[in-house]
């Protein structure tokens, strides 16, 4: 009996210790990530100032000049246009799913959203090459009188917008569902129509949540790699319109890992690109999270 008791206690101690180790590891993980990337990219600061790195267009790895502006602009263009496409679609879809849809339709749309969310990014890339790229070069570009092979900012943005739809949509559905039903019922009982209730009560109440969901989507889109890389064209230039090819930051990292060790400091430059992504995404997510927390309090 005593031995048994002893065993249980030992077991408890070992497992508690393991849990503590694991949770400590998880808590310091973001700091290790940041520190590791910073350490590897710090060599870059010897020759280039931070301002030069972020705002210079000169990209000449062979003479040690690393200006990331072209790549940052590539990322900004693709992300921004993707959000323009997917934000309205997500808001309208989330409204109809939470306010108007019948049970029967929910049983279809929820698995659809889940499958879209689960498809790997390379699959979206393949779809982009088969469908989106030819569609742009054969249909959309001629309408605007532009000439393009189709591998363009617009192709990247369309593929990206489809990828982040399930992500934003899930957050929005969650947000609309947590708004107390009494609020909408009160509005309806005062004689407002369904649409008036949605416009003046539901959406008004959800504004911080809607902003946050779009912010999370932005952060998500900013770091997406493979799918964008496959359709965006990858030419080192600052895009002037949506039919130009671009070169976003993640694509820069993914495309050049092969040559990384052959040019001095090139590996530091790629790690710096990863560091930019890391910082932007973390800051964005932190801000949005705080927005939601604050709005929950009221």
Residues 4-23 within binding reach of other proteins (CB under 8 A): 8-9, 11-12, 15-16, 18-20, 22-23
Query: Given the complex with other proteins, which of 153 and 274 has the nearer CB atom?
Result: 274
CB-CB contact of 53 with 44 (8 Å): yes
Chosen residue from 43, 69, 76, 129 binding other proteins by CB under 8 A: 129
Residue 4 Cα distances to 1, 9, 11, 17, angstroms: 5, 9, 10, 20
Chosen residue from 44, 78, 81, 97 binding other proteins by CB under 8 A: 97
Q: What tokens does 208 get?
A: 């911080």
Q: Which residue stretch of 57-65, 95-103, 174-182, 237-245 sits at the interface with other proteins (rule: CB under 8 A)? A: 95-103
Query: What is the SS3 assignment for 132?
Result: helix
Quote the least distance from Cβ 205 to other proteins, whole Å.
17
Query: How many positions of this chain bind other proteins (CB under 8 A)?
Result: 83
Residues 180-209 within binding reach of other proteins (CB under 8 A): 193-196
Quote the least distance from Cβ 159 to other proteins, whole Å.
10
CA distance 245 to 163: 20
x/- letters, 20..49, toward other proteins (CB under 8 A): x-xx-xxx-xx--x--xx-xx---------
Q: Beta partners for 246? A: 233
CA distance 268 to 64: 11
Query: Given the complex with other proteins, which of 54 and 282 has the nearer CB atom?
Result: 282
x/- letters, 232..271, toward other proteins (CB under 8 A): ------------------x--xx--x------------xx
- When asked if residue 140 is in the footprint of other proteins (CB under 8 A), the reply is no
Q: Beta partners for 65? A: 60
Residues 142-171 within binding reach of other proteins (CB under 8 A): 162, 165, 169
Chosen residue from 223, 238, 265, 291 binding other proteins by CB under 8 A: 223
Chosen residue from 42, 49, 57, 100 binding other proteins by CB under 8 A: 100
Q: Where do runs of H (alpha helix) occur along the chain? A: 2-41, 50-55, 69-95, 103-118, 121-127, 133-135, 141-143, 153-178, 181-189, 194-197, 203-223, 226-231, 249-255, 266-297
Quote the least distance from Cβ 207 to other proteins, whole Å.
17
x/- letters, 49..88, toward other proteins (CB under 8 A): ---------------------------------------x
Look at residues 249, 250, 266, 246 and name the one whose alpha carbon lies nearest to residue 258.
266
Place of tokens 């002037």: 240
Chosen residue from 58, 123, 139, 186 binding other proteins by CB under 8 A: 123
Quote the least distance from Cβ 144 to other proteins, whole Å.
21
Query: Phi and psi of 246, rounded to 5°?
Result: -135, 180
CA distance 160 to 79: 8
Number of neighbouring beta carbons within 10 Å of residue 161: 23
């Amino acid at each position: 009996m005593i031995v048994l008791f002893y065993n249980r206690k030992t077991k408890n101690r070992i497992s508690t210790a393991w849990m503590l180790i694991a949770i400590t590891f998880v808590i310091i993980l973001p700091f290790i990530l940041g520190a590791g990337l910073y350490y590897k990219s710090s060599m870059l600061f010897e020759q280039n100032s931070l301002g030069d790195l972020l705002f210079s267009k000169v990209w000449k790895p062979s003479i040690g000049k690393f200006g990331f502006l072209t790549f940052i602009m590539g990322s900004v263009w693709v992300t921004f246009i993707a959000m323009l496409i997917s934000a309205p679609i997500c808001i309208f879809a989330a409204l109809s799913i939470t306010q108007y849809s019948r049970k029967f339709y929910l049983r279809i749309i929820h698995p659809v959203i889940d499958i879209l969310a689960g498809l790997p990014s390379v699959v979206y890339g393949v779809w982009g090459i088969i469908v989106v790229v030819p569609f742009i070069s054969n249909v959309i570009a001629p309408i605007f009188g532009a000439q393009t092979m189709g591998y363009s900012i617009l192709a990247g943005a369309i593929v990206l917008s489809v990828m982040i739809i399930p992500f934003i949509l899930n957050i929005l559905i969650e947000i609309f569902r947590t708004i107390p039903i009494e609020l909408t019922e009160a509005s309806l009982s005062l004689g407002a129509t369904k649409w008036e209730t949605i416009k003046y009560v539901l959406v008004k109440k959800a504004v911080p949540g809607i902003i946050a969901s779009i912010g999370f989507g932005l952060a998500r889109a900013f770091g997406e790699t493979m799918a964008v890389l496959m359709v965006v064209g990858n030419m080192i230039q600052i895009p002037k319109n949506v039919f130009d090819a671009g070169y976003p930051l993640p694509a820069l990292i993914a495309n050049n890992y092969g040559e990384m060790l052959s040019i001095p400091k090139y590996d530091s430059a790629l790690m710096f690109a990863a560091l930019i992504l890391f910082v932007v995404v973390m800051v964005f997510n932190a801000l949005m999270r705080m927005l939601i927390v604050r709005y929950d309090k009221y």
